[in-house]
Amino acid sequence: AQKITQTQPGMFVQEKEAVTLDCTYDTSDQSYGLFWYKQPSSGEMIFLIYQGSYDEQNATEGRYSLNFQKARKSANLVISASQLGDSAMYFCAMREGRTGNTPLVFGKGTRLSVIA
């Protein structure tokens, strides 16, 4: 079974609008972390935001916020005030367990295109 599911292969958003990228996850661990990365065409993986399973508040980092709904096992990324430079692939990822020494498991990604 997929541990990370991103159901939107591609999304379009108008510049300056907000957009939500969906991510659902599957784990039986009580302790886990959820990550979002941006991958531009150059290939580098740019860390955007992190949410821990025990965090009660939704994470925010500048224009990025994570809508964490634990009971529904969803961790959607919200990008506010989209910019042309936001066009890229976006990956949701999860790390299971209590330590940070386990690898990330990635979803299939969502390609975001920002339109002027």
Partner 1 sequence: GAVVSQHPSRVICKSGTSVKIECRSLDFQATTMFWYRQFPKQSLMLMATSNEGSKATYEQGVEKDKFLINHASLTLSTLTVTSAHPEDSSFYICSARDGNRPLMNTEAFFGQGTRLTVV
Binding site residues, partner 1, CB under 8 A: 31-33, 35, 37, 42-45, 47, 50, 52, 91, 95, 97-101, 103-109
Residue 41 or 116: the one with the smaller Cβ distance to partner 1 is 41
Q: How many C-alpha atoms does 93 have within 13 Å on its Cβ side? A: 20
Closest-CA residue to 74 (of 4, 1, 2, 9): 4
Whole-angstrom distance, CA of residue 32 vs CA of residue 35: 10
Residue 78 or 104: the one with the smaller Cβ distance to partner 1 is 104
Residue 28 or 42: the one with the smaller Cβ distance to partner 1 is 42
Residue 20 or 102: the one with the smaller Cβ distance to partner 1 is 102
The dihedral built from the CA positions of residue 42, 46, 114 and 21, taken in this order, carries a sign that is positive
Q: Are 109 and 52 in contact (CB under 8 A)?
A: no
Q: Are 99 and 106 in contact (CB under 8 A)?
A: no
Minimum gap (Å) between residue 14 Cβ and partner 1: 24
Minimum gap (Å) between residue 73 Cβ and partner 1: 17
Minimum gap (Å) between residue 16 Cβ and partner 1: 28
